[in-house]
Structure 1
């Protein structure tokens, strides 16, 4: 799956592709191309997944991610069906910015917040998100 996903990403013009779901040939995966805008931290949701790895790549703009601390963060409710949200302490959260020269991979143990407002003037972004099936061995 990973090889097929990276091959598709390398040969696809991600800026010209229309927003929406796009099948990745040779797999059951779909790439979700999203045009959106970063928002205030207080309005962004926390998440993690247990059945999928989130591959996230900012094609245009800059997106800030929050990485939650496992010691002070707590689940708000049970998984529904593959997403869980958390209560967390902002001062224990690590923030990192993503730009088109890097991508992020969030495994089930990577509790995170996406699409947080950055220090840039323009908050509009284009992101490609692929859910890669995860099997814990």
Structure 2
């Protein structure tokens, strides 16, 4: 078999290298490329809700592109359901990969709320009716007060965080690196209807 001429060999190497670099680029995100992707909103596929500014966009981009089918099902549930009419309870979206819980209850006084995080699942939290305050802080800066419990997929902390008012129109995303303190009462809102969608976390180190 005759060897390929040098220029053809070089061309093939260039093409294959370009494919490899392109593939790598799809899996390698920076704060800038992730923010650009989020702002384009193609992932919404018609969902009218806004993503809260507290979201770690880089982690969101990484998780979405490694587990797009699950995320699309979660967003479709938000888009296609009349959340105001759904009764409190648990809703299966994609087996144990994606599921939702709707609650309708009074929020807690600040002292009765707690910082938490999860490892197996990402939290998508959305206030359907009413308002509540939610705290957000890095787990890396938090002090553990209750070690991680695998059965409950949760740990508790003490930490200084930033607080946001959650209301209809905007949803929050909390990853394992995010300590969050939800369900804090906002004056004038005694009852809050809320949905929490659990999306299974993907190990980015797994091939």
How high is the TM-score relative to the length of structure 1? 0.88
Distance 1:50 1:70, change over 3 A: closer
In the alignment, which residue of structure 2 is the partner of 1:112?
180
Alignment partners' CA distance in 2, 1:77 and 1:101:
33
Partner of 2:109: 40
Distance (whole Å) between structure 1 residues aligned to residue 90 and residue 199 of structure 2: 14
1:69: how far off?
5.2
Q: What is the deviation of 1:109? A: 0.6
Mapped to 2, the partners of 1:43 and 1:107 lie a distance apart of 23
| Structure with more helix by fraction | 2
Which structure would you say has the larger RCO, counting Cα contacts within 8 Å and 6 or more residues apart? 1
- Size of the alignment, in residue pairs? 131
Summarize deviations over 1:71-102 as a string: whole Å, max 9, x none. Answer: 652011321012000023xxx32110111110
Runs (4 or more) in structure 1 with deviation over 2 Å come to: 68-73
Match of 1:78 in 2: 147
- Asked whether 1:50 is paired with 2:50, we answer no
Equivalent position SS for 1:111: strand
Larger Rg: 2
User: Which ranges of structure 1 fall in alignment gaps of 5 or more residues?
Assistant: none
Structure 2 gaps of 5+ residues are 1-69
TM-score, scaled relative to structure 2: 0.60
Higher-strand-fraction structure: 1
Which secondary structure state, in structure 1, belongs to the residue aligned with residue 155 of structure 2?
A: coil
